Amino acid sequence: MRINPKNELSAIIILSVLLIIIIAYLESNVLRIILGLPFLLFFPGYTLIAALFPKKDDLEGVTRVALSFALSIAVIPLIGLVLNYTPWGINLYPILVSTILFILIASGIAWYRRYRLPEEEHFAIRLDINLTRWRAANYLDRVLTVVLIVSILGAVGTLVYASTNPKIGERFTEFYILGLEGNATDYPKELMMGEEGKVIVGIVNQEHEDAVTYRVEITIDGADSGTIESLALDHDEKWEGEVIFIPEKAGEDQKVEFILYKNGEDEPYRSLHLWLDVREPS
């Protein structure tokens, strides 16, 4: 049996555009996985190989497939590395758009180079399922072909399993303090007795649990200076708020401590502190 599809580059582009549409407008994880795996693991490398080796005799079929997977695995991290130094960063849509742009450019070069050749030299996919030729093939070629197929199926199966059964990562809570401009600078360093000090306190629930309750106590050299009660956050939910503390005694290097408690526990869960010089009113 012989399968001889035409215009495989057009099919790759159509499937890539379809993936972006599905991710943007549909919430079908099954379709995302079915189209996402070849989009990331095969299409970039295949179109690059098609651009570099347009002749049908440049590479054998098994070699072409193997290099397509290998180059895809190399190309995607490079795209991520470049995006890391752009304003868009490493996020879903920039990676998708950049990858499809790479596929479009590589496909365009492949088309140009392929159709400058005589038609009989064009590379085209041909799946020729012939048991007689398989039995007559070199033993090493058969072994390598089987190993390649098993490796590809194993890699795809592993990725599908990892995608459908995500591992819960480390459980923790982000706890931080910022200056009033929202940066990790410009904290109060010197105040007068009775003068208000202000900072922004932030909490992000990364516990993989919903409705986690938090309490923050503020102390100055061990003396109570206020409490933030009963903050309930779902997983990945963030709270930021302006917090005021007022020193009641003069002295240098007073420790302003922000102590985080979780789910009503008596033991502190996290703590942060600032050092403050307090002067008497003149």
- Listing DSSP states for 213-259 in one string gives EEEEEEEETTEEEEEEEEEEE-TT-EEEEEEEE---S-EEEEEEEEE
Per-residue pLDDT of the chain (282 residues; tens, 9 = 90+): 343 455 788 888 888 888 888 877 776 667 777 778 788 888 999 999 989 988 877 887 778 888 888 899 899 889 988 888 888 877 778 888 899 999 999 999 999 988 888 877 777 666 555 556 656 667 676 677 677 677 766 766 666 565 556 555 678 999 999 999 888 888 999 999 999 999 999 999 999 888 999 999 999 998 998 888 889 999 889 999 999 999 999 999 999 999 999 998 999 999 999 999 999 887
- The CATH label, of 2.40.50.140, 3.90.1170.40, 3.40.190.10, 2.60.40.10, for the domain at 172-279 is 2.60.40.10
The predicted structure's pLDDT at residue 129: 54
* Annotated domain spans of the chain: 2-164, 172-279
**Amino acid in position 173:** T
The predicted structure's pLDDT at residue 253: 93
Helix (H) or strand (E) holding 203: strand 197-206
Query: How crowded is the C-beta side of 257, counted as CA atoms within 13 Å?
Result: 14
Write down the pTM of the prediction: 0.50
Q: What is the DSSP letter of 136?
A: H
Whether the CB-CB separation of 33 and 61 falls below 8 Å is answered with no
Whether the CB-CB separation of 72 and 50 falls below 8 Å is answered with no
Cα–chain center distance at 119: 42
The predicted structure's pLDDT at residue 146: 74
State how far the Cα of 246 lies from the Cα of 249, in Å rounded to an integer.
Answer: 9
Whether the CB-CB separation of 16 and 43 falls below 8 Å is answered with yes
The predicted structure's pLDDT at residue 174: 93
State how far the Cα of 81 lies from the Cα of 90, in Å rounded to an integer.
Answer: 8
